[in-house]
Structure 1
Amino acid sequence: MAIFKKSSSKSNTVKLKPWKVAIIDDEADVHEVTKLTLRKFTFENRGLEFLSAHSAKEGIALFEEHRDIALAFVDVVMETDDAGLRLIDEVRNVQKNFSTRLILRTGQPGQAPEEDVIKQYDINDYKAKTELSSLKLKSCVYSSIRSYRDIKTIEAGKRGMEEVLKSSSSVLESQSLAQFGSAVLKQTLTLLNLNNSVLYISTQHTDLYGHTKMTVLGASGDLIGLCQPGISQEIPPDIEADVKKVLETKVHYQSDELFIGYYPSGKDGHNILYIKLNEPLDVVKRKTLEMFASNVSVIFQNLTQKEDIQETQKELIMVLSDAIEMRSKETGGHVKRVILMTEFLAEKLHMTEEFIETIRYAAALHDVGKISIPETILHKPGKLDPEEWEIMKTHAQKGYELLADSNRIVAKMGAIIAKTHHERWDGKGYPEGLKGDDIPVEGRIMAIVDVVDALLSKRCYKPAWSEEEVKAYLQENAGTQFDPLIAHVMLEHFDKIQDIRAQAPDED
C-alpha cells in the first residue's frame, strides 16, 4: 500500500471550513441559547457556522441557498401548527436533500405525537425543547455531524468511483502518448475538482542497456511550456529533484502544497503524477486519485509498448526508403519531401486523421519496388530504351508484392501507393491502366507529389524545372495525367509546397 508523507512546515496552517448548523425556530431566545451553548464546539478541528431562520418559509430558503448544511434544528410549531413538518417534507422530498441531519424540536410535545412523527417523516431525532440540556445538546450535535460526515464521505466515494470508471474509459480512447497525456490531465482536473492547480505527467523508463529517460506527457498552468506537441522540454531542477526523491523512495509524497503520486509501470517503468495544490487532498480525493492513477498506469504501459513498436516500424521504413533512394541515386531529400508534401495535401483534401497519420509514413514506400531493378537501368544517364522502360515499369507491381502480405496499416497503404502512383487520371498509366476515381486516392496524391518533386529537382538525366514551368505542366495535365481536384489544390498552395521542399533540400 502506498504511503503518504505529510510535511511539517505548514501542516496545520490551512483553516478548515466550519460545519453549518441551521436553527429554524420562531423564538429568538432558542437561537441565542443554542448559539451560546455551542459557541466553543469543534469537531475534527472544525467549528460551527450558525444559520438562522424564524419561520418554515425562511428555513426552506435557507436550505435552497446552503446545500451543505450538516445539521438543522427545526421547530414543529411556527407560522402554523405543522410548519416544521412541512419543511421536513420539502427538504427531503422536493429538494432531495437526504444528507442533512434533521432534529425536530417542540415546546408542545403532545401536539405532534413522537411515534407518529418519527414514523411518517424522515427525521433523525425528535426532542422536546426541555430535554436538550447543555450536555445533551452537545452530544446530539456530535452524533449528528459525525453521521453527516460519514454520509458525505460515502457519497463522495461513490461519485469518485463513477468518475474513475468514466475517466478511465476516456483515457482508454487515447491512441498515442500525446493524446494520453492530455486525457489524463483533463480527467484528473475534473476528478479532483482542482482550481488554479498545476499538473503534469512524467515517466521514467530504464531500458535493457540501463538508459533512463524522463518524458513530459502533459502539462497545464504555469508548466504548460514543458509539453509542446511532440516536444518534451527540460524539467525545472526543483521539480526534477522532488520527482527523483519519489522515484528513489517509490512512495507517494503529500504536503499541503504538493502531491507527487508514484505509480510503477511494469518492471522498470515509473509514472509520476505531480500536482501543485491550493489545499491538501482529503482522504476521498486521495483514494480516488489512487484508483484512477493505478488504472492509468496500466494504460500507459500498454500505450508505451504500442508506440515503441510503431516508432520502430517507422524508423525501419525510413531506413529502408533512404537505402532505396541511395541505390537509385535520387536527389538526397526526395523521400523526406514527398512525406511532407503528401501529408500536407491529405490535410487540404480533408482526409481523416488516421489517413493523414498513415500516409505520412506510407509515402516513403512509394518506390520500394526499385530494389528489384538492375542498377544499369536505375543509373542510366540518358533516356531508357523500350525494353529498359518495360523493366523499369515493373517496380510498381514489385513494390506492391513486397508489401501486400502485411496486415500493418502503413504497409497496406504503402502497397497501394507503390502499385498505383504511376496510374493516370485518363487511364493511360501503369501497371493496370486504372482510370479516374478507380485509382485509390493515396495513389492519386502520390502521383502528383512524385512528379512535382521530380520536376523541381535536378536529376542525372535532366536539369531542375522552374516553378513557372512546373505550374504550367500541372495546368496542362490536370484531368489527363492528374486528378483535377488534387492538381487544383497543389496549384492553389504551390508557395507552401515550395516551403515544404525547402525543409529537406538536396545534398550536393
Structure 2
Amino acid sequence: MSDEIFFAEDNEEQETTSLGKWKVLIVDDEPEIHAVTKLALGDFVFQDRSLEFICAYSGAEAKKMFREHRDIAVVLLDVVMETDDAGLKVADFIRNDINNHFTRIILRTGQPGQAPERDVIINYDINDYKSKTELTSQKLFTVVISALRSYRDINAIEENRKGLEKIIAASADLFSILSLENFIEGIVQQLSSLLGGTKGAVYLTSAVAGPKPLDSYNPNELYVFTGKGDYANRSGEKLEQVLSGAELLSCHNAYQNKCLVFENEYLVAYCGSKTQKGSLLYMSGLPRKLSETDKHLVEIFSQNVQIAFDNVLLTKDIEDTQREVIERIGQAMEHHFGKGRHIQRMVKICDVLGRNAGLNKAELNTLCLAVPLHDIGKIKIPETLSMPVSKLDKSELDSLRYHAEFGYNLLKDSSRPLIKTAALIARDHHEYWNGNGYPRGKSGDNIHIFCRITSLANAFDSLRNKRNSEENCDLQKVLAVIISQKGEQFDPSLVDILVANIDEIEQIICDFPDDENSSINQLN
C-alpha cells in the first residue's frame, strides 16, 4: 500500500454539515420547566450535533415517548407528577420493562423530601440526581454534556461488542461466502464504532460480490460486497450506482493510486491484495476529524482485510474444482450409456429435498458434492445388460444389482469424508423404506438421510424423464407413482417435501432437459 495520504483542501467559508441531533426528553408536569429548559439549552451543540427536544407532561406520556423513540440520549425526569413516584416508575420502566440501559437518566425534583437522593440512587438505575433549585443554566449545560458523553461512549462500546460478536460467530466457518460476509460486516461495524460511529459504510470489491456467481461480474468493475447504514441491502450493485460526485471521484482516486483518501465527512481506503486487484472501504458521516490513531486503525484494516478475501477465493476455487471433477465423472458414466443431464438434475433436486428436510449448509454441500457418484458402480455392468429390467433373468438381475455394492467397495477405503459419503450413497440409494430394497435390506431411519434423499430424487427424475421408452410420463402420473410408494419404497416425510416443493423441482426439470435422441438406460 502507498504511504501517501490525501486530505481535502481547507475551506474556511465551508459550512458545517449537520450530523444529526441528540434527542433529549423533558418529562415534567409544569410547562414552565419545559420552556426554561429549552431556553437554557437552545444553542447547545456537542460534536457538531444540536439537541432535539421531546416533551412529555406525565409519567404515562413519558413511557409512550420511549416506545416511539428508541434513540433518546438523555431524559430530564421530574419525580412528582400525576403521582408522588411517577418519575421513579418511569425510570424503572426504562431500565426493566423496555430494557433500555443506554439512555442517561437525570432525575430532577422540586421536592427532595418526597424522593431522598440516597434512597433513589441506591434503588434506581439513574445517572444523576438534581434539585430544581440548584440546577442553574450553567449546571444544566454541564450535566447534559456529561450525560451525552456517557451516552456516546456506551453506544460506541455496544457497536464494538456487536462487531466482535459477528467476528467470533463467523470465525468458526470463515471460509464460506456467507460467513465471510458476516466477518467483513463485523469488522466494518467495529471500525465504525472505534471512529465514534459513522452514517454508513460499504465494502467494494472486484473479486467477489453479493449473491451472484463469481463469473457474473466484470473483473474490471467494483461491486458492493456488504454495506452498513445508508448502504445496507446494496449488495451486488456497481460502485457508480451507489456513489456519485466527489465521493465517486475519491473512490477512483484511492483505487487507482492504491492509497487512503480522508475528506471532512468520509474516507476511502484501498485494501491491497497479492492475488486480486484489491478492494475499497468507504465510510461516510464521520462524527469528527480523525486523529492519527484513527487513521492508523483504518490503515491496518485496509492492509489486512483483503487477506480474508484472498483465502476464501482460494478455498472456493478448490471446492468448485472438486465439484466439477466429481460431476464430470458422473456425467462421463452417463455418456457411457447414452446422453442426458440426469446428474445435473439429481444434484439440484437433492438440494431442494435436503434443504427442506433440515440439513445444515455443510451437510447439504456434502450431499450435493457426493450425489454425482451415486451410480459409479455402473462401470462394472456388462453392456449386454443394457435392456429393460423386465427382460432380465434372475442371474442377470443379480449381476445388475451388484453395481451398488461394487460402487461402495470402489470408494469405501478413502479417508476423505466426501468420498466416504459418496461410497455410502452408492451402496444404499436402492434401499427401501420398508426393507425390501438392496443390497443389504436396510429399512426406515437405518438408511442414512443422504441415501433416502438420493433414492427419491433418482426415482422421480428417472420417471419424469423416461428415457428408455417413447412414452412421455407426465407429472401427475409420476406423482401418483411416487405417492403410492410413500412408506414403502420412499421415506414418507421426503415424499411430502417433494410434493410441497414440486413447482421448484419441475423448474429444474425444465432448466436441464435431456439431449435429443437420449437413450440412457435406467437401472433399478
TM-score, length basis structure 1: 0.64
Local SS of the residue matching 2:514: coil
CA–CA distance in structure 2, aligned partners of residues 47 and 444 of structure 1: 64
The match for 2:168 is 169
Question: Quick one: structure 1 residues 328 and 41, their matched pair in 2 at CA, closer, same or farther if it must change by over 3 Å?
Answer: closer
**1:457–1:464 CA contact under 8 A, matched in 2:** no
5+ residue gaps, structure 1, are 21-34, 70-78, 99-105, 107-145
**2:167–2:183 CA contact under 8 A, matched in 1:** no
Question: Quick one: structure 1 residues 280 and 151, their matched pair in 2 at CA, closer, same or farther if it must change by over 3 Å?
Answer: closer
Query: Aligned ranges for residues 261-300 of structure 1 at < 5 Å?
Result: 261-266=269-274, 268=276, 270-277=278-285, 279-280=286-287, 282-283=289-290, 286=294, 290=298, 296-300=305-309
The match for 1:179 is 179
Question: Quick one: structure 1 residues 351 and 205, their matched pair in 2 at CA, closer, same or farther if it must change by over 3 Å?
Answer: closer
Please tell me whether residue 13 in structure 1 is matched to residue 21 in structure 2: no
Please tell me whether residue 432 in structure 1 is matched to residue 437 in structure 2: no
Local SS of the residue matching 1:236: helix
The match for 2:63 is none
Larger Rg: 1
Question: Quick one: structure 1 residues 405 and 47, their matched pair in 2 at CA, closer, same or farther if it must change by over 3 Å?
Answer: same
The match for 1:236 is 240
Question: Quick one: structure 1 residues 406 and 305, their matched pair in 2 at CA, closer, same or farther if it must change by over 3 Å?
Answer: farther
**Aligned to 1:457, which of 465, 469, 473?**
465
CA–CA distance in structure 2, aligned partners of residues 469 and 159 of structure 1: 59
Partner AA of 1:463 in structure 2: E
CA drift at 1:364: 2.2
**1:200–1:216 CA contact under 8 A, matched in 2:** yes
CA–CA distance in structure 1, aligned partners of residues 262 and 380 of structure 2: 63
| RMSD after superposition | 5.7
**Aligned to 1:327, which of 336, 340, 360?**
336
Aligned length: 443
Please tell me whether residue 404 in structure 1 is matched to residue 412 in structure 2: yes
CA–CA distance in structure 1, aligned partners of residues 46 and 357 of structure 2: 65
The match for 1:102 is none
**1:377–1:392 CA contact under 8 A, matched in 2:** no
5+ residue gaps, structure 2, are 25-38, 52-75, 81-86, 95-101, 129-133, 135-144, 209-218, 517-524
CA drift at 1:440: 0.9
TM-score, length basis structure 2: 0.62
Query: Aligned ranges for residues 64-463 of structure 1 at < 5 Å?
Result: 165-175=164-174, 176-185=176-185, 188-189=188-189, 192=192, 197-205=199-207, 214=222, 216-219=224-227, 226-227=234-235, 232-236=236-240, 239=243, 242-266=250-274, 268=276, 270-277=278-285, 279-280=286-287, 282-283=289-290, 286=294, 290=298, 296-329=305-338, 332-374=340-382, 376-377=383-384, 379-380=386-387, 383-459=391-467, 461-463=468-470
The match for 2:473 is 466
Local SS of the residue matching 1:283: coil
**2:164–2:190 CA contact under 8 A, matched in 1:** no
**1:332–1:506 CA contact under 8 A, matched in 2:** yes
Quote the sequence identity (%): 26
Question: Quick one: structure 1 residues 378 and 247, their matched pair in 2 at CA, closer, same or farther if it must change by over 3 Å?
Answer: farther
**1:328–1:378 CA contact under 8 A, matched in 2:** no
**1:168–1:296 CA contact under 8 A, matched in 2:** no
CA–CA distance in structure 2, aligned partners of residues 253 and 396 of structure 1: 63
The match for 1:132 is none
CA–CA distance in structure 2, aligned partners of residues 41 and 257 of structure 1: 21
- Tell me which moved more, 360-369 or 154-163: 154-163
Question: Quick one: structure 1 residues 177 and 486, their matched pair in 2 at CA, closer, same or farther if it must change by over 3 Å?
Answer: closer
Question: Quick one: structure 1 residues 391 and 252, their matched pair in 2 at CA, closer, same or farther if it must change by over 3 Å?
Answer: farther
Deviations 1:314-371 (Å, cap 9, x if unpaired)? 2222222222222231x52211211121122223333334333332332222123334
Deviations 1:218-273 (Å, cap 9, x if unpaired)? 2466766752xxxx454427857654432232222232443323233445463322
Partner AA of 1:14 in structure 2: T
Partner AA of 2:171 in structure 1: L
The match for 2:36 is none
Partner AA of 1:180 in structure 2: L
CA drift at 1:87: 8.2
Question: Quick one: structure 1 residues 214 and 365, their matched pair in 2 at CA, closer, same or farther if it must change by over 3 Å?
Answer: farther
